Amino acid sequence: MSRRVALALAVLVAAGGAAPPGHAQHRMPEHGQHRMPEPAQGQHHTPEGWTFGLPKGEPAKGRQAFAKFECYKCHEVKGETFPAAQDRENVGPELSMMGPMHDAEYFAESIVNPTKVIDPGKGYAAKDGSSKMPSFNDSMTVQELVDLVAYLKSLRPPGGASGHTQH
Interacting residues with ligand HEC (CB under 6 A): 66, 69, 71, 73-75, 91-93, 107, 110-111, 114, 117-119, 124, 131-134, 136, 148, 152
Question: For residues 99 and 156, is the Cβ–Cβ distance under 8 A?
Answer: yes
Nearer to ligand HEC, 7 or 69 (CB): 69
CB of 78 to ligand HEC, least distance (A): 14
CB of 61 to ligand HEC, least distance (A): 13
Nearer to ligand HEC, 57 or 107 (CB): 107
CA angle 156-162-167, nearest 5°? 95
Q: Which residue in 103, 68, 73, 99 sits closest to 85, CA to CA?
A: 73
User: CA-CA distance, 146 to 58, in Å (whole number)?
Assistant: 8
Question: For residues 45 and 39, is the Cβ–Cβ distance under 8 A?
Answer: yes
CB of 145 to ligand HEC, least distance (A): 9
Nearer to ligand HEC, 54 or 74 (CB): 74
Nearer to ligand HEC, 10 or 107 (CB): 107
CB of 129 to ligand HEC, least distance (A): 11
Question: For residues 99 and 161, is the Cβ–Cβ distance under 8 A?
Answer: no
Q: Which residue in 144, 158, 156 sits closest to 60, CA to CA?
A: 144
